Amino acid sequence: MSDLEPLSDPGLPAHVARRADRDPIAEKRAERQVAILFMLSGLSAVAFIASYVGIKSDQYIFLPLLGTTNAQQLALGISLALTLLTIGFGVVHWAKVLMSDHEITNQRHTMRSSETELAELATTFAAGAASSGLGRRSLIKRTLGGALALVTISPLIILRDLGPLPKKQLEGTNWKRGSRLITDPGGIALKASDLEVGGVAHVLPERPTGQKETLEDLTRDPVLVIRLRPEDLHLNAEQASWTHNGIIAFSKICTHMGCAVGLYEQQTHHLLCPCHQSTFDVTTGASVIFGPAARPLPQLAITVDSEGYLIAQHGFNQPVGPSFWERSS
C-alpha cells in the first residue's frame, strides 16, 4: 500500500448555524427554557426542605407501579433528584443551544522532548551521578542498599501483633465426649425421640450455664442432625457406629468455603450448600456428589445418654470447615 496514494484530508467541515444562532425568537425561547429549568431546581430544593420538615417519618404513600413506600424517603429523594437534574439539564441545554459552538483546533506536540533536551538531561544526570560518586563508591552503594532493605523490613515487624498465630485453633471445636445437642436458636436439649423421620435440627454443643456461644464458635460448632429410616443409610462400619437408630449428624460448616450447609432435601437425602452449590449425599456420609467442595462434611459421632438425650460420643476426628495448608487430609 505504501506506493499507492491514500485519499486526502478534506479539512474541517464548515460551521452550520443553529436555530438560536439564526433566529432571535428561538434564542429567546431557549433562554426562557434554561431559566425555567433553573427555577424548577429552586422549587425542588424548597420541596426537599418541606419534605424533610413537613412529612412524618412513619407515613407511607401508594403510587401506581411503585406500590406503597415510605413517603418522606420518596419525597426527599425525588426532590433531590429534580433539584440536581434540572440544574444539569439547564446548564447543558444552555451550552448546546446558546453558547458559541464554533470548534477550535489545538496543535499537538510530540510528547517526546527534543534530542538536545534529552541529551542535556542525560549529561546533567550523569554529572550529578558522577558527583554523588555512587557509581564508583561500591562500599557506599552496598551498605546503602543493605540499610534501605533493613529499613523497609523492620517496620513490618511491628505488624506481628495484628493477630495471634493460628497454632491449632483452626482444628478444634467445642464438641467433646458427652456434649448434649442443644437446638439453635431454641436452646433446648434434643432427645432422640424429639426428631421424626425426615426431620432435621440445627444444634450446638452444650455449654456451661451462663456461657453463650461466640460468633467464632458459630463458625465451627454448628451441627445438622438428620433422621432417616435406618435402611436408607449406606455407611461403612465406623460411620454407622456414629449414628443412632437412623439419626446422623454432620458439621454444618461447608468444607469448601465455610458457608452454613442446612439445606436438606428430604426425598433425595441430599444436602445443598447455597453459596456455590456443593451437594452432599447424607446416605453415604455426606460425600460430595456435585459442586466445588473437595471433602465430605465431617460426621459427628452421636449416641444417646441414659435419659434419651442425644450426646456426642467424642469431638470431630478432623478439622471442620474450609481447608488450609496445615490440614493433612
Partner 1 sequence: MTKIAEAGKGAFGFVDDRVGAAKWVKKNLNKVFPEHWSFMLGEIAMYSFIILLLSGVFLSLFFVPSQQEIIYHGSYAPLSGLPMSQAYASTIDMSFDVRGGLLMRQIHHWAALIFLAAMIIHMLRVFFTGAYRKPREFNWLIGIGLLTLGILEGFAGYSLPDDLLSGTGLRIAEAIVQAIPLIGSYAAFFLFGGLFPGSIFISRLYTIHVLLIPGIILALITVHVMLVWYQKHTQYPGPGRTEKNVVGPPFMPIYMAKAGGFFFIVFGITAFLGALFSINPIWLYGPYNPSQISAGSQPDFYMGWLDGLVRMTPNIETHAFGHTISWNILIPALIVPGIFFTTLALFPFIESWVNGDKGEHHLLDRPRNAATRTSLGAAGLTFMIVALLNGGNDIVATHFGLTINGIMWFTRIAIFVLPPIVFMITKRICLGLQHKDRDTVLHGRETGRLVMLPHGEYIEVHEQISTDDQWTLTQHKQYQALVAPVNVDANGLERPVGLKERIRLGLSKWMYGEQVAKPTATDVHELEGGHH
Partner 2 sequence: MKRLSKYRRHPLAAGLVIAMGLLLVGSLYSLASGAGPAQASNARSQAIKEGQQIFLKGCSSCHGLNAEGTQTGPSLIGVGAASVDFQVGTGRMPMADASVQATARAPQFTPEQTMALAEYVASLAPGPAIPSQAALNYERDGNLAQGGELFRTNCAMCHNFAGQGGALTQGKYAASLMGVDPQKIYEAMITGPQSMPVFGDRSMTPAEKLSIIKWLKNVQNEQAQGGIALGKVGPVTEGLLVWTLGLGLLIGAAVWLGAKSK
Contact footprint for partner 2 (CB under 8 A): 16, 18-20, 60, 66-70, 73-74, 77, 88, 92, 96-97, 101, 183-186, 190-191, 193-202, 226, 260, 262-268, 270, 272, 274, 277, 279, 290
Among 80, 189, 235, 304, binds partner 1 (CB under 8 A): 80
Contacting range for partner 1; rule: CB under 8 A; set: 20-28, 91-99, 113-121, 124-132: 91-99
Of 233 and 255, CB closest to partner 1: 255
User: Which listed option, partner 1, partner 2, none, makes contact with residue 226 (CB within 5 to 8 Å by class)?
Assistant: partner 2
Measured CA to CA, the distance from residue 275 to residue 45 in angstroms comes to 45
Q: Using CB under 8 A, which residues numbered 207 to 266 contact partner 1?
A: 215-216, 218-222, 252-253, 256-263
* Residue 60 bridge partners (DSSP): 70
User: Which listed option, partner 2, partner 1, none, makes contact with residue 190 (CB within 5 to 8 Å by class)?
Assistant: partner 2
From residue 263, give the alpha-carbon distance in Å to each of 72, 201, 229, 273. 40, 11, 19, 7
Say whether residue 313 binds partner 1 (CB under 8 A): no
Residues in contact with partner 1, counted by CB under 8 A, come to a total of: 99
From residue 173, give the alpha-carbon distance in Å to each of 220, 221, 280. 6, 6, 21
Of 215 and 237, CB closest to partner 1: 215
Among 45, 170, 189, 200, binds partner 1 (CB under 8 A): 170
CA atoms in the 13 A half-sphere facing the CB of 52: 8
The CA-based angle 280-203-227, given to 5 degrees, is 55
User: Which listed option, partner 2, partner 1, none, makes contact with residue 194 (CB within 5 to 8 Å by class)?
Assistant: partner 2
Q: Cell digits for 46? A: 424548597
Q: How far is the CB of 324 from partner 1 (least distance, A)?
A: 5
Closest CA to 323 of 170, 139, 132: 170
Measured CA to CA, the distance from residue 317 to residue 299 in angstroms comes to 8
Measured CA to CA, the distance from residue 206 to residue 193 in angstroms comes to 18
Say whether residue 317 binds partner 1 (CB under 8 A): no
Residue 237, phi then psi, degrees to nearest 5: -60, -45
Among 45, 85, 189, 304, binds partner 1 (CB under 8 A): 85
Q: Using CB under 8 A, which residues numbered 21 to 60 contact partner 1?
A: 52, 57
Contacting range for partner 1; rule: CB under 8 A; set: 23-31, 127-135, 141-149, 162-170: 162-170
Of 77 and 207, CB closest to partner 2: 77
Residue 289, phi then psi, degrees to nearest 5: -115, -5
Q: How far is the CB of 182 from partner 1 (least distance, A)?
A: 12
Contact criterion met (CB below 8 Å) for 242 and 232: no
Q: Which residues contact 305 (CB under 8 A, 6 or more apart)?
A: 178, 180, 311
